[in-house]
Amino acid sequence: MKLIILKDYKDVGTKAAELVSKDIIKNKNLVLGLATGETMIPFYRSLVSLINNKKVDASEIKTFNLDEYVVFDKKNKNGYYYFMNKHLFSKIRIPAENINFLNGNVKNLDLECRNYENSIKKNGGIDLQILGIGRDGHIGFNEPGSSSKSRTREVLLSRITRKDNSRFFDGKISKVPKKALTVGIGTIMKSKKIILLASGVSKAKIVHRFLHGSIDKNIPASFLKKHRNITVILDKEAASELD
């Protein structure tokens, strides 16, 4: 594992964008796993800048996002497709058919998850997966207790996750969906390379447990320590409880 500690969340985003850009330059057909959340905003801003300054051609990459709320589709303004389109997809030249996203508003969610898993496999797996980390240690929407072998599936969201995400729903936890679709830990672990980003003092405790604690299913991110090619990028606040 490689650990990088930088000044603030903007620097975290800039560094991550630089690393991703290098991989796109090396492999124009890169299969890129993407995440959402506030920590990702400066990352996408920097990545868009690099691409639009013609330093990086991302027109042939393929993307797979980690998750989406159940009952949400591409048009929902609180959904993750809307977030990704706002911060990345609408700002770069990438064919719509290269963007892969879970649809939480279909009748057969199990089939949706199986098809998504199969699509990842058909594309050779994820070359580079971007991750954030929740206050309870979740990655994607793989909540505490998730199996290390889990695949793309429907999950029940923890109260901590829903409370944290309520800031995007007028501060009302009652408006946050109770279920979501997520790529599983087993699928994430098959990624050839992983970059995990964390920023802010609210992540300091879980970052310490993730990096210094034992591998524990109650801290899903801890499984990542078994991965042979992972880079963790933190700002000083997120790293404030590290030794």
Say which residue, 91 or 168, is predicted with more confidence: 91
List the structure tokens of 149: 């072998």
pLDDT at 35: 98
Known catalytic residue at 136: yes
pLDDT at 243 > cutoff 80 = no
pLDDT band at residue 92 using 50, 70 and 90 as cut-offs: very high
Known catalytic residue at 23: no
Known catalytic residue at 68: no
- Per annotation, catalytic residue among 143, 164, 235, 237: 143
pLDDT at 143 > cutoff 90 = yes
Which positions ≥6 away from 78 have C-beta within 8 Å? 69, 72, 168, 169
Q: What is the mean pLDDT of the chain?
A: 96
pLDDT at 54: 79
- For the segment 74-97, the average pLDDT, to the nearest whole number, is 95
Backbone dihedral angles phi then psi of residue 130, each to the nearest 5 degrees: -95, 135
Known catalytic residue at 143: yes
- Per annotation, catalytic residue among 87, 112, 127, 138: 138
- Per annotation, catalytic residue among 67, 68, 112, 237: 67
pLDDT at 59: 94
Which pTM does this prediction carry? 0.96
pLDDT band at residue 58 using 50, 70 and 90 as cut-offs: very high
pLDDT at 74: 86
DSSP secondary structure, the chain, as one string = -EEEEESSHHHHHHHHHHHHHHHHHH-TT-EEEE--STTHHHHHHHHHHHHHTTS---TT-EEEESEEETT--TT-TTSHHHHHHHHTGGGS---GGGEE---SSSS-HHHHHHHHHHHHHHTTS-SEEEE---TT--BTTB-TT--TT--SEEEEPPHHHHHHHGGGTTT-GGGS-SEEEE--HHHHHTSSEEEEEE-SGGGHHHHHHHHHS---TTSGGGGGGG-SSEEEEEETTTTTT--
